[in-house]
Structure 1
């Protein structure tokens, strides 16, 4: 199941995929599960923005990684 959001959903100043944006995307996915999880069979929910997969928008080198404590 794909949830396709408008390109306006992307943070304007974020050049990397940060934790806050990741949490916002997960919230959309979780809401999708809550809305249709008991009614429709599917394997997973993925979010696209402006028709593009998040890996196309933020390739792995743009993931914000925090050093281990």
Structure 2
């Protein structure tokens, strides 16, 4: 099964992974709230961001804002 999955085109594999992550997020939301279910939801969300292809730009913007904020706090407060 893994060999068949890897034989698929790159975009098709990403779409399948994103759909599976979205479906798992849909199921996880209906679980009772605790640390484990929240961790699973976070992991599924990161997986979906990675599969869609916006994780790296999201992280770059996040680190830029963090760097700017820390620089502002160090200089002016």
TM-score class, shorter-chain normalisation, is 0.3 to 0.5
Which entry has the higher C-alpha Rg, 1 or 2?
2
Structure with more of its chain in strand, by fraction: 1
Structure with more relative contact order (C-alpha pairs < 8 Å, separation 6 or more): 1
Q: With the length of structure 1 as denominator, give the TM-score of the two structures.
A: 0.40
Structure with more of its chain in helix, by fraction: 2
Q: With the length of structure 2 as denominator, give the TM-score of the two structures.
A: 0.37
